[in-house]
Amino acid sequence: MIRFASSALAFSLLAGAAVAEPVAYDFDKSHANLAFSYNHLGYSTTEGRFGEWEGTLLIDQDAPANSSIEFVIDVNSLDTFWADRDKHFLSADFFEAEKFPKASFKSTSVEKTGENTLKVTGDLTIKDVTKPAVLDVTVTQIGDHPMAKKPAAGFAVTSTIKRSDYGMDKFVPYVGDEITVTFHAETLKAATN
C-alpha cells in the first residue's frame, strides 16, 4: 500500500512537471505598429497611430487558451500626421487625454480558430469606460528568429470598435463611428532570471 501511494505521488509529480507553463515574450518595438483608421465623410480614410504602449504577452503554443495579453496605451502618443487634428483628438471632444491619459486592453479568453488564427476576447478600457472587444489574430510566424537566435512570434491583429461606446461621439454619423484597429508586431522570448 505504501509502495502504491509513493508510486502514485511520483507519477503525479512527473505529470505536473510535464505540463508546460505559458512563456513570456517581449515586444520588439522597432518592428511593431499600433494603428487605427476611420471613414471621413465618405470621402477618405484617415489614419493614425499610437507611438507609446507597453504589452505583457504570455504564449502557450500547446494550449493557446492559456495564453494572455495585457496592453496599456499612452493616449498622448497619438499621431494622425496632422498636428491640429491630434490636438483636437486629445481634447474633451474625444480622448480627454489630460484626464484619461491611458487606455488598456486585458484578454479574458483566447480561442484557436484555425491553423494560424486566434480569437482573443478581452476588456478594452478608454476614458474609464470598459467594454468587451474582440481581436482577430493571425500568427504570421512562430519559431527561432534567424538574427536574434531565440524563439520569436509575429502577429497581425485587427479589431473594430465603436468610438461612441467610449463617449466619443463627436460628428457621428458624418465622421465614422466604427474605428478599425490594426496591430503588427514581432516578439521575442523574454530573458529568464
Q: Residue 19: pLDDT band by 50, 70, 90 thresholds?
A: low
pLDDT at 24 over 70: yes
Per-residue pLDDT tens digits for 86-101: 999 999 999 999 999 9
Reduce the DSSP state of residue 148 to 3 states and report it: coil
Q: Is-contact 120 107, C-beta < 8 A?
A: yes
- Residue 128 inside a domain? The answer is yes
Residue 16 lies in a domain: no
The answer to whether the CB of 83 falls within 8 A of the CB of 101 is: no
- Answer yes or no: is 105 within a domain: yes
3 within domain boundaries: no
What is the predicted pLDDT for the residue at 7? Answer: 40
Residue 112 placed within a domain: yes
Q: How many folded domains does the chain comprise? A: 1
pLDDT value at 5 more than 60: no
Tell me the CATH number at 44.
2.40.128.110
| pLDDT tens-digit series, residues 98-142 | 999 999 999 999 999 999 999 999 999 999 999 999 999 999 999
Contact 129, 167 (CB under 8 A): yes
What average pLDDT does range 27-33 have in this prediction? 97
In a domain, 25, yes or no: yes
The per-residue pLDDT for 128 is: 97
What is the rounded distance in angstroms from the CA atom of residue 21 to the CA atom of residue 15?
Answer: 13
- Side-chain-facing half-sphere of 10: CA atoms under 13 Å: 6
- The verdict on residue 13 lying in a domain is no
Record the pTM. Answer: 0.87
- Nearest Cα neighbor of 69 from 124, 1, 31, 140 is 124
Residue 1 lies inside a defined structural domain of this protein:
no
pLDDT tens for each residue of 145-165: 999 999 999 999 999 999 999
Domain extent for 84 = 21-189
